[in-house]
């Protein structure tokens, strides 16, 4: 049987996930989003409910996790977006994520700022908003479902191991 390279990468990532999980419920990190290199993804906001795994997780990983992770949050407004609990308890005025209320979520406010503002997220030149921001707004309006044991990691942070 041939074992593919990407399969081995997934096992490796899963092993790190188990290592990071500690003794609480096992943490799921999962594989890299498939759409990671596609700046036009996604073309539209889903008609039905937003799916955290399919629609939201890739956006947060691609656009936010490089800076808003446990190691680097200190230099980035103190905001840590690795887990839902951290997203709701870190930053200058927690919660930056208010499930059900996108208009009260700083996580959305900073996306609407012009690039000249120091809190404009994601910082220039990654200003590819529109559909992605609307997906995040819809997801928060729908209650921001995000399983407690799912921890997000930027792929570049994983490869440093």
Residues near ligand HEC (CB under 6 A): 63-64, 66-68, 76-77, 79, 91-93, 96, 106-107, 110, 118-119, 121-123
Report residue 67: phi and psi, to 5°.
-105, -35
Nearest approach in angstroms of CB 34 to ligand HEC is 19
Per the listing, tokens 């996790």 go with 65
Nearest approach in angstroms of CB 53 to ligand HEC is 17
* Region label for 32, one of left (φ > 0), alpha (ψ between -120 and 50) or beta (otherwise): beta
Nearest approach in angstroms of CB 122 to ligand HEC is 4
Per the listing, tokens 């498939």 go with 34
Tell me the three state secondary structure of residue 6: helix
């Amino acid at each position: 049987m041939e074992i593919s390279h990407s399969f081995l990468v997934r096992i490796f990532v899963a092993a790190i996930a188990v290592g990071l999980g500690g003794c609480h419920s096992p943490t799921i990190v999962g594989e890299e989003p498939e759409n990671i290199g596609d700046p036009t993804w996604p073309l539209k906001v889903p008609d039905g409910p937003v799916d955290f795994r399919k629609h939201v997780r890739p956006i947060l990983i691609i656009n936010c996790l490089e800076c808003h992770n446990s190691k680097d949050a200190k230099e980035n407004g103190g905001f840590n977006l690795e887990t839902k609990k951290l997203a709701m308890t870190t930053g200058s005025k927690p919660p930056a994520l208010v499930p059900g209320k996108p208009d009260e979520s700083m996580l959305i406010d900073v996306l609407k700022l012009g690039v000249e503002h120091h809190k404009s997220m994601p910082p220039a030149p990654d200003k590819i908003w529109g559909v992605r921001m609307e997906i995040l707004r819809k997801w928060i309006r729908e209650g921001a479902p995000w399983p407690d044991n799912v921890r997000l990691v930027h792929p570049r942070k994983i490869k440093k191991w």
